A and B are shown apart, each in its own frame.
Chain A
């Protein structure tokens, strides 16, 4: 335990989480916890298991063992479509905007799972570009617009835990900056956030804690306060 006290209750705890795709063993016992309202990152090189950790929470890998406690409930054996109803919003790396649906159909596709989600108008205020493109087919949106849509889509449902996978990947600096402002705003609104990021400079100022993964295991946990002293080590580990 690095911090002197825990200000808020735990929202997610992974204990000895293993994940498999067919014969390959990807995660080798992940232990991590996230408190309500906290923003953490999963750092690591490609193939270190960060995306698989998010997919395991969503039940999108072949097989999982261990424990996933979400808001006091064990969800390791819960089917994928019910996990969202426990308050999780998942923004996948490939964004997965549906090409044959309009932007607005994409936005309103996920069912409302709890109260307290943002309204469509609030989301259009947060992402003005989407408002202009609301009737365009999802497949015709730019990469940045698709990314904003993939984020906006999970903010409407009342989800309290956001799993955001590589949201800045391949986007122009101006859009990355905008996404940073959005994350800051979401933290203010009390969302709990797990960021998987390649872009360390984007993630560093936003996160309260960083988990460093290598070969499907967590090799270090670094708090925001410890970060300056650990920069050299991190650069070496991440190869950035």
Chain B
């Protein structure tokens, strides 16, 4: 079977790869968007926090025999708590300064975290086995689907849309949206905004770590896994526009798919296509596809 002269198995598998990458883009850019919305800080440590999620899961498995399912909850919690400490002890001191300082601080933290993990574990990469329940695959007729990859897509979409629902439909989400618009007034109305900010940063960081645990069995667990991915994620965020929650999810998924398609039709461009789109979007619509100017 062929479509446009391309075997469907190839097309299908590249679309699947695109969808997987898109799922990671979506979770990571969602976390960045939430943090930026309330804190006005571009969290440059996001990639390192994603990497830490994967490493916490790997350490838990290899040193303590703690399985994937426990890590899927525990690793985001642990890395999220590290995020809470970063916010309380460091970021909090910078809110009155230019946003650039928050960016510089988180960039420095990313380098420190990566340095520590490189020092401890080297850069050759560690492998993390696919959990037994999700190993193997199914033949869909036109292509072979590894079950774990299907799980990654379902899990990340569930978390993304769950987060969207929490922000758009609950009281806590209303506090967050209001705080994003005008945190001073929200505070004057009696809402504990400093606590909300801490929680939001911790949650955004936990999302990155969750993506890291999902990624561990697919990619190598490597201290640099985050910095490779995060550059693309920043481009995704620029394309989608910083302001929109749903925008960051849809842009992440969409760009993953576009990347996958490019691999099929013009493989040479597949690693730059996201950046080409970013340039075009910046020229035509600087606020991003879903952003408010």
Whether A110 contacts B181 by the Cβ 8 Å rule is no
Binds B, one of A77-85, A185-193, A203-211, A221-229: A77-85
- The complex places the Cα of A85 from the Cα of B188 at a distance, in Å, of 10
Binds B, one of A8-16, A91-99, A126-134, A175-183: A91-99
Which of A85, A101, A111 is within 8 Å of B177, CB to CB?
A101
- The complex places the Cα of A83 from the Cα of B190 at a distance, in Å, of 7
Whether A100 contacts B184 by the Cβ 8 Å rule is no
Q: Does A31 contact B (CB under 8 A)?
A: no
Residues of A near any B CB (own CB < 8 A): 58-60, 79-85, 90, 92, 96, 98-101, 105-106, 109-111, 113, 153-154, 157
- The complex places the Cα of A84 from the Cα of B184 at a distance, in Å, of 12
25 of the cross-chain contacts (CB-CB < 8 Å) are A60-B184, A80-B187, A80-B188, A80-B193, A81-B191, A81-B194, A82-B190, A90-B185, A90-B188, A98-B177, A98-B182, A99-B181, A100-B180, A100-B181, A101-B177, A109-B174, A109-B178, A109-B189, A110-B190, A111-B189, A111-B190, A111-B191, A153-B189, A157-B189, A157-B190
Q: Point out the residues of chain A lying under 8 angstroms from B174, CB to CB.
A: 101, 105, 109
Given A98-B177, A100-B177, A109-B175, are A83 and B188 neighbors across the interface (CB < 8 Å)? yes
Smallest beta-carbon distance B247→chain A, Å: 13
Residue of B nearest to A105 (CB): B174
What 6 additional pairs, Cβ within 8 angstroms, besides A109-B175, A157-B190? A60-B184, A84-B188, A99-B181, A101-B178, A106-B178, A111-B189
Whether B182 contacts A96 by the Cβ 8 Å rule is yes
Q: Point out the residues of chain A lying under 8 angstroms from B182, CB to CB.
A: 96, 98
Q: Point out the residues of chain B lying under 8 angstroms from A84, CB to CB.
A: 188-190
Residue of A nearest to B192 (CB): A81
Q: Point out the residues of chain A lying under 8 angstroms from B177, CB to CB.
A: 98, 100-101
- The complex places the Cα of A98 from the Cα of B182 at a distance, in Å, of 8
Q: Point out the residues of chain A lying under 8 angstroms from B188, CB to CB.
A: 58-60, 80-81, 83-84, 90, 92
- The complex places the Cα of A104 from the Cα of B184 at a distance, in Å, of 20
Residue of B nearest to A54 (CB): B188
B:159-199 near A, CB below 8 Å: 174-175, 177-178, 180-182, 184-194
- The complex places the Cα of A99 from the Cα of B182 at a distance, in Å, of 10
Smallest beta-carbon distance B82→chain A, Å: 26
- The complex places the Cα of A99 from the Cα of B178 at a distance, in Å, of 8
- The complex places the Cα of A157 from the Cα of B191 at a distance, in Å, of 12
Residue of B nearest to A92 (CB): B185
Smallest beta-carbon distance B96→chain A, Å: 9
Q: Point out the residues of chain B lying under 8 angstroms from A79, CB to CB.
A: 194
Residue of A nearest to B190 (CB): A84
Q: Point out the residues of chain A lying under 8 angstroms from B187, CB to CB.
A: 80-81
Residue of B nearest to A163 (CB): B188
Q: Point out the residues of chain A lying under 8 angstroms from B189, CB to CB.
A: 84, 90, 109-111, 153-154, 157
Smallest beta-carbon distance A215→chain B, Å: 25
B:185-230 near A, CB below 8 Å: 185-194
Q: Point out the residues of chain B lying under 8 angstroms from A60, CB to CB.
A: 184, 188
Residue of A nearest to B169 (CB): A105
Which of B178, B190, B193 is within 8 Å of A98, CB to CB?
B178
- The complex places the Cα of A110 from the Cα of B184 at a distance, in Å, of 13
Which of A58, A59, A98 is within 8 Å of B181, CB to CB?
A98
